[in-house]
Amino acid sequence: MPPESLRCKECKTEYPLDARYVCERCFGPLEVTYASRDRTDPAALRRRIQAGPHSIWRYADFLPLQAPPRGTLPAGWTPLLRAERLAERLGIGELYVKNDAANPTHSFKDRVVAVALARARELGYQTIACASTGNLANAVAAHAAAAGLESYVFIPADLEEQKVLATGVYGTNLIAVNGTYDDVNRLCTEVSAERDWAFVNINVRPYYAEGSKTLAFETIEQLGFELPDRVVCPIASGSLFTKIARGVEEWLEVGLVSGELPTFNGAQAAGCSPVATAFEAGTALCRPVKPDTIAKSLAIGDPADGPYALELARRTGGSIDSVSDEQIRDGIRLLAETTGIFTETAGGVTVAVLAKLAERGEIDPSERVVAFVTGEGLKTLDCARGTFERTEIEPTLESFEEATDSLALTS
C-alpha cells in the first residue's frame, strides 16, 4: 500500500510526493493518499504487523515512506493502561489511558517527527526545523541528533524552562522568538521559503501529520484489534485529533477492525479555545485568539486543522470542550492520584474534559473510553507547585510522631 500522491483536502487536486503543503489552486491543505488496499488480506496484514518491531514502524504499511528507516529513536509502542480507579471516581464503565509520555522525548511528538524526518531524508534534506509550542522542539532536536542531521528549532521565548533545557541539551540551534506560537509559525513559513530545510510542521507537514495515525493503530492493537466507543483527545492545531480518526478509518477500510468510528471528544484550554468556541457557536470556522493558558503545548491561537476537527466532532456525535487553568491543575492531580501517571498540562486538559463529560452524564456506563495523555508532567513542573502539602520534621522519632499525630488529626 505505497503512498501515491499528495492531494488537496478541499479541491482534490493531486501533486507529487515532494515537500509541499498547500494547494496551488485553492490554498487548501494537502494530505497523503495511498494506493488502493482493496485486495489486501486482513489476516496476513495483521500477522505482518504483529511480527514487526515494537515501535511505530510496525505500521509502516500505513505510513508515507518508501521504506521504514533504520537506527532511529524508537518512537511509539507506549502503554495503554486500564484506569479502574479513575473510572470509578468519574463513574465511567471501561476507561483506558494511552500514556504517550512514554516516548523518547516524553510526548506524542516523537511519532510525527520520526515520520517527518524519515520522509525528509528520503527527499534529500540535510537540515530539519520546526515551529514549536515546546514538545515539537524537544522531539526535532533529539531525532535530528540521533540521525546526525543539523536542526533549527523556533520556540516562543516564554516557554517553560524545563522544555527549553530538555531541547537545548541535544545541541540544536535553539531560536527563541519574542512572540506567540502563531508569530513563530508565521516567521517559520517565511524562513522555509528562504532556506532549503525540512520544516516538519510546515513544508513536510503532510508526512508529519501521518505519524499521528499510529496512536490509533496502537490503541486498537492493544485493545485486541477492537475499537473504543469514545476517545478524548487534546487539540492544538487539530492534527492529532483528526488523524486518530483517519487511522481508525483506514483500519476499518482494510478490515483489520470492524465497527464504527468512535465518538470524538476534543479538549482545549479555556485560555486558548478557538475550536471549542466555534463548536459551541455552531460555526464551521475558528476565529483566531491570542493564547493565555498554562497549557502552552496546546497554545495555538489559529489552528490549521480546526475546521476538520469541528467536522469530526459533529459527525461522530462528540464535542469540543474547554476547561480552566484551575481545572487543568485538578486534572493533573486526579490522573496522578488515581493512575500513577504524572502528565503535563495537555494531559490535564484531557482528563479535565473527560471529568466534565462524565459530570454532564454524556458517557454511558456501557462505553469503552480511551483518554489520550500526550505529554509528561516533568516538563511543566511549575503547575504542580502549591497543589499539595509537605511535612517538615527534625531527624528524631519524637518529631516524626508529633507530625504524624497532627497529620492524623487533619486528615
Cβ 305 vs Cβ 275: under 8 Å:
no
Other beta carbons less than 10 A from residue 190's beta carbon: 9
DSSP secondary structure, 11-47, as one string: T--EE-SSS--B-TTT-PBEEEEE---TT--HHHHHH
Number of residues that bind ligand PLP (CB under 6 A): 17
Please choose, out of 78-86, 114-122, 151-159, 239-247, the segment that lies near ligand PLP by the rule CB under 6 A. 239-247
Residue 106 interacts with ligand PLP (CB under 6 A): yes or no = no
203 near ligand PLP, judged by CB under 6 A: no
Q: Among 104, 234, 247, 306, which residue sits at the site for ligand PLP (rule: CB under 6 A)?
A: 234
Closest residue by Cα to residue 266 from 255, 277, 257: 277
The answer to whether 31 touches 24, Cβ cutoff 8 Å, is no
Residue (72 or 242) nearer to ligand PLP, CB: 242
The nearer residue to ligand PLP, 235 or 289, going by C-beta atoms, is: 235
Neighbours of 185 (CB within 10 A): 25
Inter-residue contact 140 to 107 (CB < 8 Å) = no
* Partner from Zn ion, ligand PLP, none contacting 238, C-beta within 5 to 8 A by type: ligand PLP
Nearer to Zn ion by C-beta: 11 or 281? 11
Q: Contacts with ligand PLP in 284-303 (CB under 6 A)?
A: 297-298
- The answer to whether 137 and 152 have CB atoms below 8 angstroms apart is no
Q: Which is nearer to ligand PLP, 262 or 347 (CB)?
A: 347
Which of ligand PLP, Zn ion, none interacts with 374 (beta carbon under 5 to 8 A by kind)? ligand PLP
Residue 12: Cβ within 10 Å count: 12
Give the one entry of Zn ion, ligand PLP, none that residue 8 binds, where binding means its C-beta sits below a cut-off of 5 to 8 angstroms depending on kind.
Zn ion
Distance between CA 142 and CA 358 in Å, rounded? 38
The site string for ligand PLP over 323-362 (x = CB under 6 A, - otherwise) reads ---------------------x-x----------------
Grid cell of 189 as nine digits: 513559513
Q: Are 328 and 246 in contact (CB under 8 A)?
A: no
Closest approach, Cβ 135 to ligand PLP, in A, equals 3
Which of the listed partners (Zn ion, ligand PLP, none) does 236 bind, with a CB threshold of 5 to 8 Å by partner kind?
A: ligand PLP
Q: Which does 10 bind (CB under 5 to 8 A by kind): Zn ion, ligand PLP, none?
A: Zn ion
Q: Which residue in 78, 99, 180, 237 binds ligand PLP (CB under 6 A)?
A: 237
- Interface with Zn ion (CB under 5 A): 8, 10-11, 13, 23, 25-26, 28
Residue carrying C-alpha cell 492524623: 408
For the record, the C-alpha cell of 167 comes out as 531541547
Are 123 and 220 in contact by the 8 Å Cβ rule? The answer is no
**By CB under 6 A, residue 63 contacts ligand PLP:** no
Residue closer to Zn ion by CB (options 11, 284) is 11
Contacting range for ligand PLP; rule: CB under 6 A; set: 19-27, 229-237, 330-338, 393-401: 229-237
Least distance (Å) from Zn ion to the CB of residue 7? Answer: 9
Q: Binders of ligand PLP among 240-269, rule CB under 6 A?
A: 240-241
Provide the 8-state DSSP code for 77: -
- Residue 11's binding partner out of ligand PLP, Zn ion, none, with CB under 5 to 8 Å set by partner kind: Zn ion
Pick from 267, 235, 246, 263: which is nearest to 335 by CA?
Answer: 267
CB-CB neighbours of 218 under 10 Å: 23
The three-point CA angle 373-376-382 to 5° equals 120
Which one of residues 86, 227, 236, 276 is an interface residue with ligand PLP (CB under 6 A)?
236
* Short-list 34, 56, 5, 35, CA closest to 212: 56
Among 274, 331, 375, 377, binds ligand PLP (CB under 6 A): 375
Decide: 198 and 116 in contact? Cβ < 8 Å: yes
Q: Note the residue count of the chain.
A: 411
Interface positions, 141-170, toward ligand PLP (CB under 6 A): none
Going from the C-alpha of 74 to that of each of 99, 142, 387, the distances in angstroms are 16, 11, 34
- Alpha carbon distance 199, 187 (integer Å): 12
**Is the CB of 141 or the CB of 256 nearer to ligand PLP?**
141
Among Zn ion, ligand PLP, none, what does residue 234 contact (CB within 5–8 Å per kind)?
A: ligand PLP
Binding-site ranges for ligand PLP (CB under 6 A): 107, 109, 135, 234-241, 297-298, 344, 346, 374-375
